[in-house]
Amino acid sequence: MGAHSLSTAAVLRPDPGSAALRSIVRNLTQTRDGATYFAGRVWGAVLRSENDGAVHPLVGRSAPDVALVNGRRLNDVLRDGRAWLIDLDPAEPLRTVAAGWADQLGYLAGTPTPDVDSAALLVRPDGVVSWAGREADRAAPILALARWLGEPARQRPEKYQAAASAE
């Protein structure tokens, strides 16, 4: 069990020690720093994931709501429950890379924005950036896609391709 689950269980026990702990937690949440800490833990805003040793500032954080070429916003497309590769390079160099994972991955071109220091984003279905790259090279996103989604469809054994197409 994780520390968060264990601490939640400890606070909820019906004994005097847990009641005292609840009082301390309540007092902490009434301070700015305490409220920020607990909100970050509950919403995952303070959680970060590694990006093969090189961590882009967006990796492990909620994806920014960028404008997409089709006039929609990233938050709109995330509602379908798939991972998304967002290509912020006007030349759309990652379109062919995304095609290998088309059964699990959506691809959209986005509008470059000064708020997002990246040429592309791989966004998990939960809206968290799992990879971000400043240059639109093909090798890094392929590694990230394989890490998060497995091998591309054309490289999977036939039995897995048949199962994916039946879904």
Among candidate residues 106, 103, 93, 87, the one with its CA nearest the CA of residue 155: 103
For CA atoms 48, 49, 53, 58, give the dihedral sign: negative
* Size of the chain, expressed as the number of residues it contains: 167
Residue 107 banded pLDDT, cuts 50, 70, 90: very high
Residue 123 banded pLDDT, cuts 50, 70, 90: very high
Out of 46-50, 103-107, 125-129, 161-165, which region has the weakest mean confidence (pLDDT)? 161-165
Q: Report the mean per-residue pLDDT for the chain.
A: 78
Residue 166 banded pLDDT, cuts 50, 70, 90: very low
Strand ranges in 53-128 using DSSP code E only, listed in sequence order: 83-87, 105-109, 120-123
Strand order in the sheet with 120-123: 105-109, 83-87, 120-123, 129-133
Among candidate residues 98, 141, 101, 148, the one with its CA nearest the CA of residue 121: 141
The domain limits of the chain are: 3-43, 74-166
Contact in structure between 123 and 74 (CB atoms under 8 Å): yes
Contact in structure between 63 and 121 (CB atoms under 8 Å): yes
- Residues 21-71 have pLDDT tens digits of 888 888 988 888 888 777 776 665 555 555 445 578 888 888 888 888 778
- Dist CA 131 CA 119 (whole Å): 11
Select 74-166's CATH number: 3.30.1540.10, 3.40.30.120, 3.30.420.40, 1.10.240.10: 3.40.30.120
pLDDT at 122 (0 to 100): 92
pLDDT at 85 (0 to 100): 92
